[in-house]
Amino acid sequence: MSGPLYAYGIVRGEGDPLRLPAGVAGATPFVHVHGGLAAVVSAFPPDARAGRPADVKAHEEVLRAALDQRDPVLPLRFGTLYADEEALDAELLAPAESQLGRLLDEFEGLVELELRALYPDEQALLRELVQADPRLARLRERTRSGGYHAQIELGEAILHAFEQRRSLDQGVLRERFAPLAREVLERPELPERVAAVLAPRGARSRAGARAGGRTAG
């Protein structure tokens, strides 16, 4: 196929045909084989732009569907484009063939789970923190009589207490998931994201049980 290609991930070249949902920009994904490797790709209209929420969702759904049918799948970054099949071969599959092959061997039988932790009622938690800490309670009383600086001090103190509580809770979650994980990569850049967890296939259902149903992969 000529023309731009959107790339989702890398799989082994052999295997049954993949049944995949609609991809980015509504295009139909297919498998492009190069030697012992294959890339899951779809045509990308020259005038299209990948970046809509629907495209992010489509990217994830294609990878999930591929992962359900192939072991393993090496995901590519959202927004990965190649000018055509020849560019895909020349820029990725050919020069990185041995490296990608080693990664497919290394990650066989494993999946990456994204561990997220959200408080169901953050406002209720903040009230609990204030009630449990006499210093915070006193600061709250001071703000009732007015005073900009007292409000700033209370806000900073509550934020500090919240960060401490979240750190403790994240530690508890890490301990719960450690027996299931081969590797855990901390992801502190987003407040609700605790870690990316590399775990054996089948660990997802056990992970949900350990988290009491409050996590998502």
Per-residue pLDDT of the chain (217 residues; tens, 9 = 90+): 579 999 999 999 999 999 999 999 999 999 999 999 999 999 998 888 878 899 999 999 999 999 999 999 999 999 999 999 999 999 999 999 999 999 999 999 887 777 777 888 989 999 899 999 998 988 888 888 777 888 899 899 999 999 899 888 878 877 877 777 767 766 665 556 566 677 787 665 555 545 554 433 3
CA 122 to chain CA centroid, nearest Å: 22
CA 51, 90, 98, 38 dihedral sign is: positive
CA dist 14 and 33 (Å) reads 8
For 134, the 3-state DSSP assignment is: helix
Burial 102-127 (b: 16+ CB within 10 A, else e): eebeebeebbbbebbbeeeeeeebbe
Contact of 83 with 41, CB cutoff 8 Å: no
Q: Where are the alpha helices (DSSP H) in the chain?
A: 53-69, 85-88, 97-106, 122-132, 134-144, 148-177, 203-210
CA dist 206 and 217 (Å) reads 12
pLDDT value at residue 116: 74
Between strands 110-116 and 193-200, the pairing is antiparallel
pTM equals 0.66
Between strands 74-75 and 110-116, the pairing is unpaired
Distances (CA, A) of 151 to 121, 216, 217: 22, 36, 38
pLDDT value at residue 175: 81
At position 183, the amino acid (one-letter code) is E
pLDDT value at residue 173: 77
Tokens 């089948």 sit on residue: 202
